[in-house]
Amino acid sequence: MNAENLIALLIAAPLLGAAVLLVGGRRLDGVGHWIGTLLSTTSFVFGVILFADLLGKNPEHRTLMQHLYTWVPVAGFQADVTFRLDQLSMTFVLLITGVGSLIHLYSVGYMEHDERRRRFFGYLNLFLAAMLLLVLADNYLLLYVGWEGVGLASYLLIGFWQHKPSAATAAKKAFIVNRVGDMGLSIAIMLMFATFGTFAFGPVFAHATGASEGKLTAIGLMLLLAACGKSAQVPLQSWLGDAMEGPTPVSALIHAATMVTAGVYLIVRSGAIFNAAPDAQLVVTVVGAVTLLFGAIVGCAKDDIKKALAGSTMSQIGYMILAAGLGPIGYVFAIMHLVTHGFFKAGLFLGAGSVMHGMNDEVDMRKYGGLRTYMPVTFITFGLGYLAIIGFPGLSGFFSKDKIIEAAFAKGGTEGWILGTCALVGAAITAFYMTRVMLMTFFGEKRWQPDEHGHEPHPHESPKVMTIPMIVLAVGSVFAGGFFSIGDRFLHWLEPITGHSEGNSPLSAAAVTGATMVCLIIGVGIAYLQYGRRPVPAVAPRGSLLTRAARRDLLQDDFNHVVLVRGGEHLTRSLVYVDHTLVDGVVNGTAAGFGGLSGRLRKLQNGYARSYAVSMFGGAALLVAATLLMRAV
Amino acid sequence: MNPVYYLYLAALLFTIGATGVLIRRNAIVVFMCIELMLNACNLAFVVFSRMHGNLDGQIIAFFTMVVAAAEVVVGLAIIVSLFRTRHSASVDDASLMKL
């Protein structure tokens, strides 16, 4: 059996799982979660087989194509269902199915007491299938199907506890904000079709250099809009914080393996277009730099452990988008950071879920404290994830984030300095907020109190089915970065697809690493002084203006409310007004005009035979006069 | 004698008839004025027939007389029935056909 034929099975396995679990009904309640986990793992096994197959090939020939059928066979418009498995998609496949399967396993324990667990696993499988379709598609139209599928699955999962109004609202918010991005993708596809006459990856990338820069910039910006929606980048970031309403494994899945990574994938995949559109690239880097600071600042102020981690995700994805915007200098590192981030962020979220599991679903970190003795496994795995994300030397985040900062400086010129500085400052803030999360959760005095029903939380370690995935992810968080970096393995793996160039950095690699370390120490130090040396107040202090703004997500919702909601209301009101006055005015005015005119004309019908005779004579006279006139002419 | 004078006479008779139709109220008089206009036309037809030397105009004159006779019958019947119902022969009184 050819390896190509396995590609469709990658998607088919979780899709089958989703179908079976969602159609199967209650009789599968007892085994549904195992079916879901099994099929997700099956997909992972196929992924590993294909990976081994690719490794056995020459690096230049590592692209496998599987043509299933022609989806839209119209003359001049051909859309194929074709899958492309190359080094880039392979990386994603392994991340999605690997981390995804671990999250499935974890959910078996986490969702144990939820009576809709089977449905939950169906949605998880659907999520994986959609994401796999997204990364395996060989044309933008098929990618769009996966893109929308991811949007749907995230909607279903964020709103999984739909009986809570906040969850239902959060799901709607995520869906609607994503629609804005989706619109960008659909416009990009239309522009692509108008420019190139096709939207298959191969021809589009081959012709990208020949097209006009204006068009490419437009396509690039629309793709960026799409990426902003899915990857929660400024200005479409507002849904990510609210998405924490979903069950914690969903957050892990969205933040580590699927969904938010889609935007990075889209930009790296469309590298050929961005390389030929420097203006679009510049915007991408600006969006990335702004978001990495934005997310980091939000993460500093949140007391909700999941929302602090959500801010962190936003910030880390900002790093990836920044790297992707740097062009060939950064593509590889964007993906490398994406993979290492997949490990430690999934680990952190699963750890947060484990803490919540032991704390009666309490999410406020001010009510945690001193949990390290109660949950040693969670503490150690979370701690390793923490060290990885802040970039502790030797752990995953150290290698990948350092490379991105280096690449940002290597962009050269003033831009390079600005972007590099942003990335460095981001690293310091990352160290600060993650240390804060760590100290508030696992160190210090215990601060928990009985809830309103008088139940005292009894923090306890989670069952094995939950801790094992956390341990595996922690191992990944520790070793993945080093494994990828030894001998530039990851670079050589991805280089044939994304290309790579060394920029000319004004700073040496050692200087960048040194600066990163200084930032790291500053961030950790400030956090320690603030949260380690002093007891954490159980009620949040009022805080500075910036803190208060950051607690409200830097006023993003207020901004959206004032500008978009109010603006939209004003717009619709003025449009209604224009409709009532102008449009209706013209229509009603015409009608009234004719009404008045006919009212006058009606008076001519006075019933007097003699007046009719006058009009008859008048008419006859006119006819005679006209006839004479025509004859005279 | 110059036939054009007959045409002048026809025009004069037609004008008198038309004016009568427009300004008189008595249905009988209006009716007579219509007859006058018809006969003015007849006269014009005959004169043209004479001037151009063919008989078409005279034949039309006969037709006109036949039609006029029929019209008299119908018209007078209408006027009589109008007078019976409204006790007036004024055309302005019969002004019900209006909004």
CA A488 to the chain's CA centroid: 28
CA pair distance A626, A630, nearest whole angstrom:
6
Query: Is A37 exposed, middle or buried (CB count within 10 Å of its CB: 0-12, 13-18, 19+)?
Result: buried
Q: Are A331 and A351 in contact (CB under 8 A)?
A: no
Q: Are A30 and A108 in contact (CB under 8 A)?
A: no
Distances in Å between the Cα of A512 and the Cα atoms of A324, A332, A390, A428 are: 19, 18, 15, 13
| CB nearest to B21's CB, from A607, A608, A613 | A613
pTM for the full model? 0.79
**Closest residue on chain B to A620 (Cα):** B18
CA pair distance A189, A139, nearest whole angstrom:
10
For chain B, the distance separating the N- and C-terminal CA atoms, rounded to the nearest angstrom, is: 54
The average confidence (pLDDT) of chain B is 90
Residue B99 pLDDT: 58
Nearest in space to A291 (alpha carbons), one of A226, A234, A333, A224: A234
Give B-chain residues touching A614 at CB under 8 angstroms: 22
**Rounded to a whole number, what is the distance in Å from the CA of B54 to chain A's nearest CA?**
24
Give B-chain residues touching A609 at CB under 8 angstroms: 30, 91, 94-95
Residue A1 pLDDT: 55
Query: Is B30 exposed, middle or buried (CB count within 10 Å of its CB: 0-12, 13-18, 19+)?
Result: buried
Does residue B90 belong to the interface with chain A, where contact is any CB pair within 8 Å? Answer: no
3-state secondary structure A415-484: HHHHHHHHHHHHHHHHHHHHHHHHHHHHCCCCCCCCCCCCCCCCCCCCCHHHHHHHHHHHHHHHHHHHHH
Does residue A602 belong to the interface with chain B, where contact is any CB pair within 8 Å? Answer: yes
**Closest residue on chain B to A614 (Cα):** B22
Does residue B69 belong to the interface with chain A, where contact is any CB pair within 8 Å? Answer: no
Question: Do the chains contact at A617 and B22, CB–CB below 8 Å?
Answer: yes
Give A-chain residues touching B99 at CB under 8 angstroms: 602, 605
**Rounded to a whole number, what is the distance in Å from the CA of B91 to chain A's nearest CA?**
7
| CB nearest to B97's CB, from A602, A607, A617 | A607
**Closest residue on chain A to B95 (Cα):** A607
Q: Is A66 helix (H, G, I), strand (E, B) or coil?
A: strand
Mean pLDDT of B71-97: 87
Q: What is the pLDDT of residues A29-71, one digit of tens each?
A: 888 899 999 999 999 999 999 999 988 888 888 888 888 889 8
DSSP assignments along A158-185, one per residue: HTSSTTSHHHHHHHHHHHHHHHHHHHHH
Residue A304, strand partner residues: A364
DSSP assignments along A228-248, one per residue: HHHHT-TTS-HHHHHGGGS-H
**Rounded to a whole number, what is the distance in Å from the CA of B59 to chain A's nearest CA?**
24
Residue B98 pLDDT > 80: no
| CB nearest to B95's CB, from A608, A613, A614 | A608
Does residue B50 belong to the interface with chain A, where contact is any CB pair within 8 Å? Answer: no
Dihedral sign for Cα A582, A584, A590, A592, please: negative
**Closest residue on chain B to A601 (Cα):** B99
CA pair distance A350, A470, nearest whole angstrom:
6
Q: What is the pLDDT of residues B1-44, one digit of tens each?
A: 788 999 999 999 999 999 999 999 899 999 999 999 999 999 99
Q: Are A51 and A68 in contact (CB under 8 A)?
A: no
Q: Which residues of chain A have pLDDT under 70?
A: 1, 451-452, 454
Residue B87 pLDDT: 87
Dihedral sign for Cα A287, A293, A295, A297, please: negative
Give B-chain residues touching A600 at CB under 8 angstroms: none
Residue B26, strand partner residues: B90
